[in-house]
Chains A and B, each alone.
Chain A
Amino acid sequence: MTSTLLALIRRDFRLAVRSGGGFGLPLVFFLSVVAVIPFAVGPDLVLLGRIGAAVLWIGALLSTLIGLDRLFGADAEDGSLDLLFSAPAPLPVLVLAKALSHWVVTGLPLAAIAPLLGLMLNLPPHALAATAFTLLIGTPALTLLGMIGAALTVGLRRGGLLLPVLVLPMTVPVLIFGVSTTNALIAGDPAASSLSLLLAVTLAAFVLAPLAAAGALRSARS
């Protein structure tokens, strides 16, 4: 089972970083969203500093939606989705492996680049660290919840249109707890309660999202 999972993760990495893969697109989108905010808000550095963490979180949330339809869509098109069902490993574990490799090439870079983009929003150094920290915890949940939507829309043509509508409501709690944790950390307020809730959402997504996505894939197949 281990070699099965490693093979799947390795292949998805390779596909993502090769030309035409999903790597880079969410990053560019993230950069674009954050870069235009100061132009729209105006040169009010105090205001930018206050909304900066929220802007980074919104940007990261929207960026994770990009490329999500390819998570299963590409496999469905070339027939390799059928192989998932005949591998010597349980389907929920396989889709979890797919989500993890997807997160490493899309979600993790978002958290890594967030401090750099935060500079454009006049965030102080400790706020940059706080935002990167909460994004690191929150983006896996975003990818995992997004995977449910990707699995539900895999059989549909133009499923990419439906996907954000399905996924966004599920990700709202992640956004709320992510931003409130970040703001509490920045202000020096007690952050333990909102941080625990953010962690809880991520852990729940780890357990439930693979089961839900596997169920959706099974029902889509007939």
Chain B
Amino acid sequence: MAVRLTAESLRIERNERVVLNAVSFNLQAGEALVLIGPNGAGKSTLLRALAGLLPVASGTVQIESGDPETPRAEHVHLIGHADGVKTALSATENAVFWAEFLGGDPSAVPEALKAVGLGHAADLPAASLSAGQKRRLGLTRLIVARRGIWLLDEPATALDTDGLSRLGTLVETHRETGGIVIAATHSDLGWPNLKRMVLGSAV
């Protein structure tokens, strides 16, 4: 699982406007980076670009792992503003889908739901879950399909203190096994040994 992520002088444009320029960082296995900056500074844009969902105008993103054949998008989990939860399906059905779809392990689903504190709601339709519970359900994606790099966009949104501490535990375990975490946030996540990067307002 040990990975390394190197981003070198990234320049990202949206609608012909430069959002980020000359962004460079380097993360070793087990390191975590927190992106800080005002609204519109480009935190989400950077995460989406790292996930391969947005084109990079110039610069490079390099991921080194054991398997050079795997494309970048398959090394990465992006937890964005939308949870990707299908409300017509139950919590378990959602999680099983992610496990199978993302090449993970469906048998890990009950454990994963317990880990995010949704063990009691496993068979409830996701439509009846609260915003925070949907957020927790979205986080099971991180557990049921193992991927080296977690990109978390405002992970604290809608989570209560219990949810936050569970997320903290997940992140801790992930880092211990050689994973990398990059989170964009406005609140203090309380994770130890963080690297920080401040993104300015739009250039």
Contacts and interface: CB of A to CB of B under 8 A. Distances in A.
A222 B54 contact: yes
Contact of B82 (A4, A6, A78, A222): A78
Contacts of A15: 86, 88-89
A80 B14 CA distance: 22
B100 interface: yes
A79 interface: yes
Interface in A164-222: 221-222
A79 to B, nearest CB: 3
B88 A86 contact: no
Contacts of B89: 11, 14-15, 18
Interface in A11-44: 11, 14-15, 18-21
Contact of A88 (B14, B97, B102): B102
Main SS class of interface, B: loop
B7 interface: no
Interface string B79-95: 01111111111000100
B103 interface: yes
Interface stretch (B70-78, B158-166, B177-185, B192-200): B70-78
Grouping DSSP codes into helix (H, G, I), strand (E, B) and loop, the A interface class, with mixed when no group exceeds half, is helix
B118 to A, nearest CB: 18
Nearest to A90: B71
Given A86-B51, A86-B73, A222 B14 contact: yes
Interface residues of B, number: 29
Contact of B88 (A4, A21, A79, A221): A21
Contacts of B76: 86
Given A82-B80, A86-B77, 16 more contacts: A3-B100, A3-B103, A4-B101, A7-B96, A7-B97, A7-B100, A7-B101, A11-B93, A15-B86, A15-B89, A78-B84, A80-B86, A82-B53, A83-B98, A221-B54, A222-B14
Interface of B: 14, 51-55, 73-74, 76-78, 80-89, 93, 96-98, 100-103
20 contacts: A4-B100, A4-B101, A7-B96, A7-B100, A11-B101, A19-B88, A20-B88, A78-B87, A79-B83, A79-B84, A80-B85, A82-B53, A82-B80, A83-B84, A83-B98, A85-B53, A87-B74, A87-B102, A222-B54, A222-B55
